[in-house]
Amino acid sequence: MRVLVTGGAGFIGGQIVEQLAARGDQVVVLDSLAAHEEPPEHLPDSVELLVGDLGDERALRRAVEGVDAVCHQAARVGLGVDFDDVSDYVADNDLGTANLLRALWRRSFTGRLVVASSMVVYGEGRYRCPEHGDVRAEPRRRDDLDAGRFEPRCGCGADLEWAAVREDARLDPRNVYAATKVHTEHLSFLYGRESEATVCALRYHNVYGPRMPRDTPYAGVASIFRSALEAGKAPRVFEDGNQTRDFVHVRDVARANLLALDSAWTGAANIASGEPHSVGDMARALAAGFTEATEPVVTGEYRLGDVRHVAASPDLAAEALGFRAETGFAEGMADFAHDPLR
């Protein structure tokens, strides 16, 4: 199979490329290398690397030539610095996806399209009120957060209990990046409907593992803690450390992509470990991997707009794609303490 992996030089794309090449697929990578200070050295020799941007029509035309499947990973990731980033996110993620789809349309591509989406499309996770059952959690109020009341509350005042979010939850993007991932999904499914290509969106939860980008405004929390520990500093855990996430290993995420490429299932699925942990737990697990570990500090600080608990149901990915994460939390975090970062 000839597969185009956009963003194939990146953290997740790189692992997908390695797994595809290892099983003998012919891989073409289109990557602008915008997220890289140095040319990537990890790509297998058999991979054809096209350095080009999703905004470059000629590069795209070349990239889609003769491919049977497309795995779309290229995107501007993370939360960015502030709203001033909006046009850059929209250019890379919304327009970039649109350009890729147009190039596929002009080639009458009807093969398999797998796109990287994210848990951020849900906004807050799923919650239950002991009194009112399933309820939506509205953005938390500054005065609650200032007073250290971090748990989202029901309109009746009761603290809510979190539950695993399923794919049929209402989409509620709460930052620019999240809005662009919702749009990426929508545009891709529209392409599927118009072209008869089969389209699948994978909503990754918190991905970690080797070659994760270092601490930048675009990095995930695991890499921020890891960078602090490496510099001999204590990881600074915001809120009370009890916010919940699902940390899923990058090799599992890559394997989920291969399963999705091999399947014709259409829809959006969570890609998660199914084993949620608190951010405080993650900081402690990571610190334990360092010999002269600095204990994490729980600071009580907060970022307005951060969500409190997002844990995922992994059931649909298991049923539809046969995907189950294989790397456990303790094992993955112990390795991540020593994995090379980008």
Quick note: the x/- pattern for ligand NAD over 257-286, rule CB under 6 A, is: ------------------------------
Residues 274 and 246: beta-carbon distance below 8 Å: yes
Nearest approach, Cβ of 316 to ligand NAD (angstroms)? 16
Alpha helix (H) residue ranges in 9-136: 11-22, 57-64, 86-89, 96-106
* Three-state secondary structure string covering 287-302: HCCCCCCCCCEECCCC
Give how far Cα 74 sits from Cα of 5, 12, 242, 257, 309, Å.
8, 10, 32, 14, 27
Residues 216 and 34: beta-carbon distance below 8 Å: no
Taking contact as CB under 6 A, which single stretch among the options 10-18, 100-108, 132-140, 322-330 is the one that binds ligand NAD? 10-18
Quick note: the x/- pattern for ligand NAD over 18-57, rule CB under 6 A, is: -------------xxxxxx----------------xx---
Residue nearest to ligand NAD (CB): 10
Nearer to ligand NAD, 129 or 271 (CB): 271
Taking contact as CB under 6 A, which single stretch among the options 11-19, 79-87, 129-137, 156-164 is the one that binds ligand NAD? 11-19
Residue 7, by phi and psi: left (phi above 0), alpha (psi -120 to 50) or beta? left
DSSP state of 78: S
Q: Which of residues 190-219 bind ligand NAD (CB under 6 A)?
A: 204, 206-207, 213
- Note whether 77 binds ligand NAD by CB under 6 A: yes
**Residue 162 main-chain phi, psi, to 5 deg:** -85, 155
- Note whether 7 binds ligand NAD by CB under 6 A: yes
β-sheet bridge partners, residue 201: 115, 268
Nearer to ligand NAD, 13 or 210 (CB): 13
- Residues forming contacts to ligand NAD in the complex (CB under 6 A) are 7, 9-13, 31-36, 53-54, 73-77, 92, 96, 116, 118, 181, 204, 206-207, 213, 220
